[in-house]
Amino acid sequence: MVSVIIRNRNEEDYIGFAIQSVLDHFKEPEIIVIDNNSTDSSLEVVSMFRPILKDRLIIKSIDNYSPGAALNEGVRNALNDKILVLSAHAQITTLNIEMLNQWFRRNYLLSLNTYYVAIFGQQTPIYRGKKITKRYIWSHFNSDITDNMYSKIEDRYFLHNAFCFYDKQFLLDNPFDEMLQGKEDRYWAADIVKKGYKYLYDGNYQKCNHFYTKNGATWKGIG
């Protein structure tokens, strides 16, 4: 069982695709939407899924928004022991639950070196329906499987919260920095590596499409 956290602000064009992709790949997921004062119809789109999800759909509003604060709020409200952080403009395309279960099998309190506290998957950037050249940070999203991915481009540990699985208890014990206005995932990764834990990039078994939006901060080098 998984609890999916989706941060939302005016994502009416994409969030329905994100939620439907969750339903296509998981049986009885919990979906938690953390809304940042949306002024479009995105919450109406979310509510369309209420008849399917029933009480497994939770909508929370947040006024003092930061990426970390929104995620931490979602984690605190999650019922399941595994968390998927999914961008409102991402769409799951490939998911291997058996592999996820293998990597998460050991409780993180038992061993630092034999399991992963987070697993993020490959992202394919989509611009107006077209798969685009993977430049800038998108070049990291290859078909490899890598421990504690390090970005030479950014010169720091690289983890991406558009499509990332976590152990809920670990996030409760190691929350995201709520003071940051971006890149909370990279700072979190550096912190947990410093503590001796490991995370995994799985570009083979877990994949999603990531759609361009006008507010996309990482969409450099579209081509």
Tell the residue number behind the tokens 């030479």, with chain if given.
Answer: 152
pLDDT value of residue 222? 46
At how many degrees (to 10) do helices 184-194 and 67-77 cross? 70
What residue spans of 40-112 are helical by DSSP H?
42-47, 50-53, 67-77, 97-104
Give domain 2-211's CATH architecture: Alpha-Beta Complex (3.90)
Q: What digits encode the pLDDT tens for the residues 83-136? A: 999 999 999 999 999 888 877 765 444 455 557 899 999 998 888 888 877 667
pLDDT value of residue 192? 96
pLDDT value of residue 138? 78
pLDDT value of residue 103? 75
Q: What is the DSSP string of 77-131?
A: H--SSEEEEE-TTEEEEE--HHHHHHHH-S-TTT-SSSS-SEEEEEEEEEETTEE
pLDDT interval class at 24 (50, 70, 90): very high
- Which range (50-64, 129-143, 161-175) has the least confidence? 129-143
Q: What digits encode the pLDDT tens for the residues 64-80? A: 899 999 999 999 999 99
Q: What digits encode the pLDDT tens for the residues 175-222? A: 999 999 989 999 999 999 999 999 999 999 999 999 987 655 444 544
The pTM assigned to this predicted structure is 0.92
CB 191 within 8 A of CB 145: no
- Which range (146-150, 152-156, 213-217) has the least confidence? 213-217
Per-domain residue ranges for the chain? 2-211
- Tell me the two tokens of residue 80: 């399941």
